[in-house]
C-alpha cells in the first residue's frame, strides 16, 4: 500500500501582517510534518504554493528549508503552476526550486500540429504516473484543455494522477458561479485521481468515466473571506490518499490549530453613535484572547456617517483584550440613501428654497428639529454678503449672533457671548 499527500492553494506570502504571515507558514509546516509522520511516498501541490511568482525572500527561505527537509527524507514533491505563482514573461520561484531539485513540475505541455500534448512523469517508488495542466491568468488554460490530445493520455495504463489548477464548471459552488471554469468533458478520462486546486472549497467527487476528483481547499486562507469562513467553522487542511492499483482510502487531514472568534453586527435602524457604542459594549464581553478575530459590520445606518463606525477604536479594544489579530469587514455597511429631491425650476428663488427644505426634511436631522420657515430665515442670514470695509471678524461675529437669534439661542447663550 502506498500513500501520497495532496495540498493546494498554500498562497505563501499572501499576508502582510506579522501574525498572519506566521500562521500561513506554520500551516504549511504542519501539513508537511503530518505528511512525513504518515509516511507518504510523495506529495502533490496543485498550484499556488506561493501567492506571487516572485514572493518575499523571507518566505522563500522558509519554504526552501521545508522542501529541503522533504528531499533529505526522500519524499518527492510534484507540482503544477497556480494562477498566482505562474508568470508568462519571467521565471517563477517554482522554476528556481525545480532547478534546485526541491520539487518537480509535471505540467510541461507542448504544442504540436495535432494539438497540445502532455508527457507522464513516473514516480520511482510507487510507479504512479503523473501529468497535468497549469493555470494561467484569467483561466487562459482553457485553450490547452480544448485542444488537448487526450487519446494517448487515456490509453496509458497504470495508476494515473492528473494535476490541475482550474475550476470545473459542474462543481462550482453557487457563490462562485461567476468564476471562469473548464467543463469536465475537456478533461482526459480514465485517471484514478484528479488533483485539483484554485477553488478555495473542499470538494470530493467521484465521476463515472473519470475517477476521483478532489479539491482540498486552502491550508489557511489568503483572503479575508477565507478567514471569515474559517471563523464560521469551515475546516481547512489537506488529503492523504492510500492506493495500490486503485485508490483504497481518502483521508482529510484538518489543520485546526488556529483559534477564531467571529462577531457580526447589523446596524440597521440605528444611528452611527448608538451603533458604535453598542458594538463596543458587546465586544467587551467577548472571549478573544489568543484568537484571530473576524468582525463583520453591515446594514444601513438610520443617521450619521459610516466613518463614525471607527475600525481603529474597535481594533485597539480587541488587541488590548488579547486578540492575536483583528480583521474588520465593513463592506456591507452603508448610510441611509437620501430621497431624490424634486423641485420646479420655473419658480422664484425663495419658492425653490422652500421646496428644497420641505423635500429634504427627512434627509437632514437638523431639519426635523425645526420649522421650514426657521430654516429659510437661517439661510437668509448665512447668505448675507460682507459689507464694503466691514472687518472680517465683525462680519463673522454678526452672522453668528444673527444665527443664534433665528434659532432662539441668543438668550440662553447670551452670557457666553
Report if residue 417 sits inside a domain.
no
Among candidate residues 6, 84, 200, 325, the one labeled active-site is 84
pLDDT at 388: 73
CA distance 408 to 402: 10
Q: What is the pTM of this model?
A: 0.79
Q: Which of 40, 182, 27, 197 is nearest to 107 (CA)?
A: 197
Q: Indicate if 12 and 68 belong to the same structural domain.
A: yes
Where does 196-320 show beta strands of DSSP type E? 203-207, 211-215, 237-243, 247-254, 260-266, 292-301
Number of domains into which the chain is organized = 3
CA distance 140 to 81: 13
Report if residue 209 sits inside a domain.
yes
Which of 304, 333, 362 is at the close of a domain? 333
Q: Indicate if 85 and 189 belong to the same structural domain.
A: yes
Enter the DSSP assignment of 336.
Answer: P
Q: Indicate if 312 and 209 belong to the same structural domain.
A: no
**Is 84 annotated in the active site?**
yes
pLDDT at 343: 57
Which of 276, 302, 333 is at the close of a domain? 333
Quick check: 281 and 262 in contact, CB under 8 A? no
pLDDT at 370: 56
Q: Indicate if 173 and 312 belong to the same structural domain.
A: no
Which of 333, 364, 380 is at the close of a domain? 333
pLDDT at 374: 74
SS3 state of residue 46: strand
Quick check: 236 and 221 in contact, CB under 8 A? yes
Q: Indicate if 316 and 355 belong to the same structural domain.
A: no
Report if residue 300 sits inside a domain.
yes
Quick check: 171 and 187 in contact, CB under 8 A? no
Report if residue 97 sits inside a domain.
yes
Domain with 388 in it: 347-405
Where does 268-358 show beta strands of DSSP type E? 292-301, 325-329, 333-335
Report if residue 59 sits inside a domain.
yes
pLDDT at 356: 65
Q: Indicate if 37 and 140 belong to the same structural domain.
A: yes
Q: What is the CATH number of the domain that holds 7?
A: 3.60.21.10
Q: What sign results for the dihedral spanned by CA atoms 204, 3, 188, 179?
A: positive
Report if residue 86 sits inside a domain.
yes
Q: Indicate if 278 and 171 belong to the same structural domain.
A: no
Q: Indicate if 82 and 158 belong to the same structural domain.
A: yes
pLDDT at 384: 77
Q: Indicate if 282 and 368 belong to the same structural domain.
A: no
H helix or E strand, kind and range, residue 58: helix 57-72
Which ranges of the chain have pLDDT less than 50?
366-369, 416
CA distance 379 to 356: 12
pLDDT at 12: 96
Q: Indicate if 304 and 390 belong to the same structural domain.
A: no
pLDDT at 368: 47
CA distance 357 to 336: 18
Q: Indicate if 171 and 310 belong to the same structural domain.
A: no
Q: Indicate if 276 and 384 belong to the same structural domain.
A: no
Instruction: Write down the H helix ranges in 88-133.
Output: 93-99
Report if residue 416 sits inside a domain.
no
Residues composing the chain: 417
Report if residue 326 sits inside a domain.
yes
Q: What sign results for the dihedral spanned by CA atoms 57, 61, 67, 71?
A: positive
CA distance 191 to 139: 22
Amino acid at each position: 500500500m502506498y500513500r501520497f499527500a495532496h495540498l493546494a492553494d498554500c498562497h505563501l506570502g499572501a499576508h502582510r501582517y506579522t501574525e498572519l504571515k506566521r500562521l500561513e507558514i506554520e500551516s504549511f509546516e504542519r501539513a508537511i510534518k503530518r505528511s512525513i509522520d504518515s509516511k507518504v511516498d510523495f506529495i502533490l501541490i496543485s498550484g499556488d504554493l506561493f501567492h506571487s511568482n516572485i514572493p518575499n525572500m523571507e518566505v522563500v527561505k522558509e519554504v526552501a528549508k521545508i522542501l529541503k527537509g522533504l528531499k533529505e527524507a526522500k519524499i518527492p514533491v510534484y507540482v503544477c503552476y497556480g494562477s498566482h505563482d505562474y508568470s508568462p514573461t519571467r521565471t517563477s520561484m517554482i522554476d528556481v526550486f525545480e532547478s534546485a531539485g526541491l520539487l518537480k513540475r509535471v505540467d510541461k505541455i507542448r504544442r504540436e500540429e495535432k494539438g497540445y500534448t502532455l508527457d507522464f512523469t513516473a514516480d520511482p517508488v510507487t510507479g504512479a504516473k503523473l501529468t497535468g495542466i497549469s493555470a494561467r491568468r484569467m483561466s487562459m488554460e482553457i485553450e490547452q484543455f480544448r485542444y488537448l490530445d487526450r487519446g494517448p493520455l487515456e490509453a496509458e495504463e497504470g495508476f494515473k494522477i492528473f494535476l490541475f489548477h482550474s475550476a470545473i464548471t459542474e462543481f462550482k459552488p453557487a457563490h462562485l458561479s461567476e468564476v471562469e471554469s473548464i467543463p469536465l468533458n475537456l478533461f482526459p478520462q480514465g485517471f484514478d485521481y484528479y488533483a485539483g486546486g484554485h477553488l478555495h472549497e473542499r470538494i470530493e467527487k467521484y465521476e463515472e468515466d473519470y475517477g476521483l476528483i478532489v479539491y482540498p481547499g486552502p491550508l489557511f486562507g489568503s483572503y479575508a473571506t477565507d478567514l471569515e469562513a474559517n471563523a464560521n467553522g469551515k475546516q481547512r487542511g489537506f488529503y492523504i490518499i492510500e492506493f495500490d492499483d486503485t485508490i483504497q482510502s481518502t483521508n482529510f487531514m484538518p489543520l485546526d490549530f488556529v483559534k477564531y472568534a467571529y462577531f457580526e453586527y447589523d446596524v440597521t435602524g440605528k444611528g452611527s453613535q448608538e451603533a458604535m457604542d453598542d458594538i463596543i459594549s458587546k465586544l467587551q464581553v467577548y472571549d478573544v484572547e489568543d484568537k484571530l478575530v473576524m468582525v463583520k459590520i453591515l446594514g444601513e445606518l438610520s443617521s450619521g456617517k459610516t466613518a463614525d463606525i471607527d475600525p481603529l477604536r474597535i481594533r485597539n479594544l480587541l488587541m488590548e483584550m488579547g486578540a492575536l489579530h483583528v480583521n474588520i469587514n465593513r463592506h456591507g455597511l452603508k448610510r441611509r440613501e437620501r430621497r431624490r429631491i424634486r423641485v420646479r425650476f420655473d419658480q422664484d428663488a425663495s419658492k425653490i428654497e422652500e421646496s428644497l427644505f420641505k423635500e429634504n426634511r427627512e434627509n437632514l436631522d437638523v431639519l426635523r428639529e425645526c420649522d421650514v420657515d426657521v430654516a429659510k430665515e437661517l439661510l437668509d442670514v448665512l447668505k448675507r454678503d460682507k459689507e464694503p470695509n466691514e472687518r472680517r471678524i465683525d462680519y463673522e461675529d454678526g452672522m453668528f449672533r444673527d444665527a443664534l437669534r433665528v434659532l432662539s439661542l441668543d438668550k440662553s447663550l447670551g452670557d457666553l457671548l
